Structure 1
Amino acid sequence: MSLAAINLKQWIEEHRHLLKPPVGNRQVWDDEAGFFVNIIGGPNARTDYHIDPGAEFFYQIEGAITLRVVEDGKHREVPIREGEIFLLPPFVPHSPQRPPATLGLVIERPRREDELDGLVWYCDNCRENLYEDRFHFSDFALFGSKLEKFYADEAARTCGHCRTIMPVPGA
């Protein structure tokens, strides 16, 4: 192994063409380094909230994002502006809203075998829990299949409380 620093600005320029929808996420380092170090570009159209059993570190490199969170049962928005950092505690449901021309660094730790991540969707109308999926996180591609499964299931997107149907993003 040869230890060396990475010029992050250069890495971003070399990978910028990959930091676009639908994925927008590229790993600088994976869990072999002891952390997932990701660069994420906007825009995105997320309606899910991720529940990570570990903390997540956000550094906003370009532009500003809004991190929707559910804190103590209350929905609120945390702005993260260019140059700012934010440490999200474990188990806080969160949904990064990334406008166009934004770029951020997110660091997460690998999951232990006994830990489960979660994706949860809340009704836009009444904020009741629509659907929740718990799973053992193995890689970021898993998120795409979980999103597709949810959006393909109208029953899952229908609120049991107020009967509002969550639309499929971009449809």
Structure 2
Amino acid sequence: MYKMPIVSLPGEGKMLDETGRYVSVLWQQPESLVFVARGRSYRSEFHINPTDEVMYMLKGQMNLHYRTPEGKEEIAVLPEGAIIHTPAGIPHSPRFPPDAHLLVLERKRREGEVDRFQWYCPECDAFLHEEEFTVSDYAVDPVGKAYRRFFDSEEHRTCKECGHIMPNALAESEAEKKSD
């Protein structure tokens, strides 16, 4: 017999805060994937998801950076209690503090679907780097893995247009955690 999942969203947020984890997957089924995320202060990439996403701001406020079809960066501000739909294929970057929580609903990836993560130079907006992942299990934190690959490489963080080297925000964030 299938049990219907019932989850306390405030409880999931509290658990993320207490453990320092960034994602709690509530369920993954062939047609749905639902998770609660805690903000990452170092987030700067644009995620290109092969599925639509619905995001509901449980606690705090999020600035959803996204790129228009013309490549211009825009920001949609999502206050606590608000919901937003992000269509498949739109480069987007949910940016919110570590004490804020977001509920994300999307379709589990199908065979052959690829998630892409792109970074742009903070100085001149030139394309820096792209990471691709096949996401079969969201609980393994593909965003965190994409970050590590990007930030661990100075070559990936160096702009070919203006020469700016993007700081290693992941290392800075980890150093802050250790000093707390």
TM-score range, shorter chain: 0.7 to 0.9
In the alignment of these two chains, the number of paired residues is: 168
Q: Is the 8 A contact 1:20 1:43 kept in 2?
A: no
Residue identity over aligned pairs, in percent, reads 33
Q: Is the 8 A contact 1:69 1:92 kept in 2?
A: yes
Which residue does the alignment assign to 2:151?
A: 151
Which residue does the alignment assign to 2:43?
A: 46
> Partners of 1:14 and 1:134 in 2: how far apart?
28
Deviation of 1:102 after TM superposition, in Å, equals: 1.4
User: CA distance change for structure 1 residues 55 and 103 in 2, over 3 Å: closer, same or farther?
Assistant: same
Please, which runs of 5 or more residues in structure 1 have no aligned partner? none
Higher helix proportion, which one? 2
Moved more, 129-138 or 33-42: 33-42
User: CA distance change for structure 1 residues 149 and 5 in 2, over 3 Å: closer, same or farther?
Assistant: closer
Deviation of 1:71 after TM superposition, in Å, equals: 1.3
> Partners of 1:36 and 1:89 in 2: how far apart?
15
Which residue does the alignment assign to 1:134?
A: 132
Q: Is the 8 A contact 1:21 1:42 kept in 2?
A: no
Which residue does the alignment assign to 1:114?
A: 112
Q: Is the 8 A contact 1:19 1:25 kept in 2?
A: no
Q: Is the 8 A contact 1:157 1:166 kept in 2?
A: yes
Q: Does 1:94 align with 2:86?
A: no
User: TM-score, normalised to structure 2's length?
Assistant: 0.84
> Partners of 1:85 and 1:20 in 2: how far apart?
25
Q: Does 1:55 align with 2:48?
A: no
Q: Is the 8 A contact 2:30 2:108 kept in 1?
A: no
Report the RMSD for the aligned CA atoms in angstroms. 2.0
> Partners of 1:57 and 1:20 in 2: how far apart?
25
User: Could you report, residue by residue, the CA deviation over 1:55-110 in whole angstroms, capped at 9, with x for unpaired residues?
Assistant: 11001111111111111211011111111110001111111111243111001111
Please, which runs of 5 or more residues in structure 2 have no aligned partner? 173-180
User: CA distance change for structure 1 residues 8 and 33 in 2, over 3 Å: closer, same or farther?
Assistant: farther
